[in-house]
C-alpha cells in the first residue's frame, strides 16, 4: 500500500491562464437512483424543487456510474477515472490519481463537505471511527487520501444529516460576491440512509395509505433486511414500504438542496448535480440495496449541469441530452469549460457526446453471486464484475474465484435488464441462409461473423468473396447467383458490417411469426424501411436499428413499407422474388427488389428485429460518429454519384409506372 508520502498532490499538471475562473459546485447525492426521479419518468414527484430548476440546466438522460457503491463511485467522480485508474477498488487502497481540486490549482479555494464513511477524512482518528461502530479496520479506513486536493475537508458522520447542509450554506453564504473563485464538493448521505427511523423517512402519506410497519421503521443498513424480513411482514409489503421510505428521503433531500442552490450565483458558477450510484428494490431477483452488481438499477444515475450564460453562448447546450455518458466525464468537462487542455482521462466532454459510445464498469469490492440477497466481499473471495454498455446493448461478466458467469441484455427491449439473452430456452426457428458479399475480411469478422446467430451453427452462411468489387461488377448479379445456391427457403441478404446482437434470432422469429399472421404472402422483409412518397410531407421511416448517426426506433412494427434499407433484405425462395442481374453497380437493389415483389402482388415490411449497421470498423473499433465511417464520409460525393447514377437511372426507367417511390436515402419522381 502506498505510503502517506505518495500523495496525489504530486501532480505534473499546471493549469494555464484562464480567461474566466468560474466557481465550481459539485453536488453528489449518495445512492440516488435516476429511476426514482420524476424527470427520468418516475411516477412519484420526489424532487419537485429541483425539477423546477432544471429549466436552465442540461439533463443527461443516460448517465452511468462505472460502479455501484460509494467508495469507488465517488472516487471516479472526483478524479475522472475508472476504479482501476484511481485505485480505490476496495477499503485497502489509496488514491493513485489526482482529484479535481488538484487540477483547479491553488488559485481556487477548494472545500469538501462529505457524509459517508467511504469518503472519510484522513484526519479522523481511529479511536473516533471505532467509537462510531465501524466494522472494518479503522487504520485502513483513514488511509484513502480524500483530504488531498482540498484546502479544507469536513467529514460528518452519517448520523448527522443536518450538519453537512449547514456547513454548505455557511460556505456559500460567506462567498456571495467574492471575486476569488471557489470549488465545493458537497456530498450528503441523506438519501442513502432510508433504513433509519427518522421522521423525514416516515413521512410517506403521499405514497402509502397506511404508515410504515413498526418493524421496518428502523432497520439495519444493508441487504440483511431482505434476506431475513421481519416476522409477519410480507415481501410485497416490505418492498412497498421501504421504497416509500427511500422516496421520502429523496423529497427531504430536495427541500434541503434547494436552500443550498438558492445561495449560488449561477452566472458565475458551474453547477453539477449527480449521484455516485443507485438503489434496488427487487428482492425476488436478488437485486437489493447496492454494491456487487452493474445492472442499470445501480449504475443509472442522475446528472444535471447548469452553465453560466457566458459558457452557454459558446456551446450547444440542449435541455436534455440522450446520448450515453459516464460520471467519469464530469472532471474533464469542467476543465474543458474552464479552458484547460485536457488529456489523460477516459471520459468525454459532455457537450459534444458521440451518438454511440462504449461505457465500461467494474467492481472488485462486492458481489451478489446468487439470487438470495447474500452479498460477498473482497474479504471472502476473489471478485471481478465488469460491464460494457453501448446503448442499447449491454454485457456483464461476473467472476467469483475461478468461476465466471456472463449476462447480455438489449436495453431497448428490456430496460430493467431482466432477460439474460445468453440463457437457454429459445426454441430455434427454421434454418436461414445468410448471403453476405465480402470485400473486407476484417470488417466481416468484427461485425456479421461476430454476431451470435452467425456463430450458432444452425444456419447456412454463403460468404461470397468480391475483393475490390472485381469478381462481380453488380451486387444484384452476386445476390442473384447466391440465391440459386441457397439451401433454405428463408434467405437473408446481409451487409458484412451488420451486427446482429445476442437474442436477435429470437426477436426476428417472433416478428416473423407476427407478420405471417397478418400477411403470410409477404414479399421482402428487413429491420428498417421507408414509406411511400406523400406529397408535401417529410419522408417517414419504420424500423428499429442503429447506425453511425445514432439509435432509432420508428414504430409501430411490423409495418408495411415501400422499400427496405439494404443492410438486410429477406425473401422466401418459394415466392419467386429475385434480384435483377442486369441492374448495374452496387446501389438501388433494395428498391428494385421491393418493386419486383410488388409486381408479383407481394408487400414489403419492416420487422421489429433490431440490427446495428456499421457497428465496428475494420480494426474492431466502435463506430461512434458518422465521421468515423469512411463509407459514409464519401457518400454523395462526386465519385459516389458517378457510381450511384447508373443504378438509379436503371431503376427509374424500369419502374416508371410506380413513380414516385423512395428508399431510406433517395427519392425518385417526386416534385
Which of these, 22, 352, 338, 73, lies nearest to 180 by C-alpha position? 22
Q: What pLDDT does 141 receive? A: 67
- The answer to whether 530 and 577 are in contact (CB under 8 A) is no
- Over 125-137, what HEC string results? CHHHHHHCCCCCC
Task: Considering only residues 626 and 654, tell me which one the structure prediction assigns the higher pLDDT.
Answer: 654
pTM of the entire structure?
Answer: 0.94
Per-residue confidence band for 3, with pLDDT thresholds at 50, 70 and 90: very low
Which of these, 77, 29, 68, lies nearest to 251 by C-alpha position? 29
Could you tell me where the beta strands, DSSP code E, fall in 298-457? 303-306, 320-321, 325-326, 359-363, 366-368, 375-377, 383-390, 393-400, 403-410, 432-438
Residue range 2-7: mean pLDDT, rounded: 40
Helix (H) or strand (E) holding 337: helix 330-337
Which of these, 664, 669, 635, 665, lies nearest to 649 by C-alpha position? 669
How many CA atoms lie within 13 Å of 616's alpha carbon, on the beta-carbon side? 21
Q: Share the mean pLDDT of the chain.
A: 93
Q: What pLDDT does 530 receive? A: 98
pLDDT at 2 over 80: no
Task: Considering only residues 8 and 553, tell me which one the structure prediction assigns the higher pLDDT.
Answer: 553
pLDDT at 83 over 70: yes
Q: What pLDDT does 143 receive? A: 83
All domains in the chain, ordered by first residue: 23-355 (3.40.720.10), 432-668 (3.90.550.10)
Of the listed ranges 126-130, 245-249, 568-572, the one predicted with least confidence: 126-130
Q: What pLDDT does 269 receive? A: 97
Amino acid at each position: 500500500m502506498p505510503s502517506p508520502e505518495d500523495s496525489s498532490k504530486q501532480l505534473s499538471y499546471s493549469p494555464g491562464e484562464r480567461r474566466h475562473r468560474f466557481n465550481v459546485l459539485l453536488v453528489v447525492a449518495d445512492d440516488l437512483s435516476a429511476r426514482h426521479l420524476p424527470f427520468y419518468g418516475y411516477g412519484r414527484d420526489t424532487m419537485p424543487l429541483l425539477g423546477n430548476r432544471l429549466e436552465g440546466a442540461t439533463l443527461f438522460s443516460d448517465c452511468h456510474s462505472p460502479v455501484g457503491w460509494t467508495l469507488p463511485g465517488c472516487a471516479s467522480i472526483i478524479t475522472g477515472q475508472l476504479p482501476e485508474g484511481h485505485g480505490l477498488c476496495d477499503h485497502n487502497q489509496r488514491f493513485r490519481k489526482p482529484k479535481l481540486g488538484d487540477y483547479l490549482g491553488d488559485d481556487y479555494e477548494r472545500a469538501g463537505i462529505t457524509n459517508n464513511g467511504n469518503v472519510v477524512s484522513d484526519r479522523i482518528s481511529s479511536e473516533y471511527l471505532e467509537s462510531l461502530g465501524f466494522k472494518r479496520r479503522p487504520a485502513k479506513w483513514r488511509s484513502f487520501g480524500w483530504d488531498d486536493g482540498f484546502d479544507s475537508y469536513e467529514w460528518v458522520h452519517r448520523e448527522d444529516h443536518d450538519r453537512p447542509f449547514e456547513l454548505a450554506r455557511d460556505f456559500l453564504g460567506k462567498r456571495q460576491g467574492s471575486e476569488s473563485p471557489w470549488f465545493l464538493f458537497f456530498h450528503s448521505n441523506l438519501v442513502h440512509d432510508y433504513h433509519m427511523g427518522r421522521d423525514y423517512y416516515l413521512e410517506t402519506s403521499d405514497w402509502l395509505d397506511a404508515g410504515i410497519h413498526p418493524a421496518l421503521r428502523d432497520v439495519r443498513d444493508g441487504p440483511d433486511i431482505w434476506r431475513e424480513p421481519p416476522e409477519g411482514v410480507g415481501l410485497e409489503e416490505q418492498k412497498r414500504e421501504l421504497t416509500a421510505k427511500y422516496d421520502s428521503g429523496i423529497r427531504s433531500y430536495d427541500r434541503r438542496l434547494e436552500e443550498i442552490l438558492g445561495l449560488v450565483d449561477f452566472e458565475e458558477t458551474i453547477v453539477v448535480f449527480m449521484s455516485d450510484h443507485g438503489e434496488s428494490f427487487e428482492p425476488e431477483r436478488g437485486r437489493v440495496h447496492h454494491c456487487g452488481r452493474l445492472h442499470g438499477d445501480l449504475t443509472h444515475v442522475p446528472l444535471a449541469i447548469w452553465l453560466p450564460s457566458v459558457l452557454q453562448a459558446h456551446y450547444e447546450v440542449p435541455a436534455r441530452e440522450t446520448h450515453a455518458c459516464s460520471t467519469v466525464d464530469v472532471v474533464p468537462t469542467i476543465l474543458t469549460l474552464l479552458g484547460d487542455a485536457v488529456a489523460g482521462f477516459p471520459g468525454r466532454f459532455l457537450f459534444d457526446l458521440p451518438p454511440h459510445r462504449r461505457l465500461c464498469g467494474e467492481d472488485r469490492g462486492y458481489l451478489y453471486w446468487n439470487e438470495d440477497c447474500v452479498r460477498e466481499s473482497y474479504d471472502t473471495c476473489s471478485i471481478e464484475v465488469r460491464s460494457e454498455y453501448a446503448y442499447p446493448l449491454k454485457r456483464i461478466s461476473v467472476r467469483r474465484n475461478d468461476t465466471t458467469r456472463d449476462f447480455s441484455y438489449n436495453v431497448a427491449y428490456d430496460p430493467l435488464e431482466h432477460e439474460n439473452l445468453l440463457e437457454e430456452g429459445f426454441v430455434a426457428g427454421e434454418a436461414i441462409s445468410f448471403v453476405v458479399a465480402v470485400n473486407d475480411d476484417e470488417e466481416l469478422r468484427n461485425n456479421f461473423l461476430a454476431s451470435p446467430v452467425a456463430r450458432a451453427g444452425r444456419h447456412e452462411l454463403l460468404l461470397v468473396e468480391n475483393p475490390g468489387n472485381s469478381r462481380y461488377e453488380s451486387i444484384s448479379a452476386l445476390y442473384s447467383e447466391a440465391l440459386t445456391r441457397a439451401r433454405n427457403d428463408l434467405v437473408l441478404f446481409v451487409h458484412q458490417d451488420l451486427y446482429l446482437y445476442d437474442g436477435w434470432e429470437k426477436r426476428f422469429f417472433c416478428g416473423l411469426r407476427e407478420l405471417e399472421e397478418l400477411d403470410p404472402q409477404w414479399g421482402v422483409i428487413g429491420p428498417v424501411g421507408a414509406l411511400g412518397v406523400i406529397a408535401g410531407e417529410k419522408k417517414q421511416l419504420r424500423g428499429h436499428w442503429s447506425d453511425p448517426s445514432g439509435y432509432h426506433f420508428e414504430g409501430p412494427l411490423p409495418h408495411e413499407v415501400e422499400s427496405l434499407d439494404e443492410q438486410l433484405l429477406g425473401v422466401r425462395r418459394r415466392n419467386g422474388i429475385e434480384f435483377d442481374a442486369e441492374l448495374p453497380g452496387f446501389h438501388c437493389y433494395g428498391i428494385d427488389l421491393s418493386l419486383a415483389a410488388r409486381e408479383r402482388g407481394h408487400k414489403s415490411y419492416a420487422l421489429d428485429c433490431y440490427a446495428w449497421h456499421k457497428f465496428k470498423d475494420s480494426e474492431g473499433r466502435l463506430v461512434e460518429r458518422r465521421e468515423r465511417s469512411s463509407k459514409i464520409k464519401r457518400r454523395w460525393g462526386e465519385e459516389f454519384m458517378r457510381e450511384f447514377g447508373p443504378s438509379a437511372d436503371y431503376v427509374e426507367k424500369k419502374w416508371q409506372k410506380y413513380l414516385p417511390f423512395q428508399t431510406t436515402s433517395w427519392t425518385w419522381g417526386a416534385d
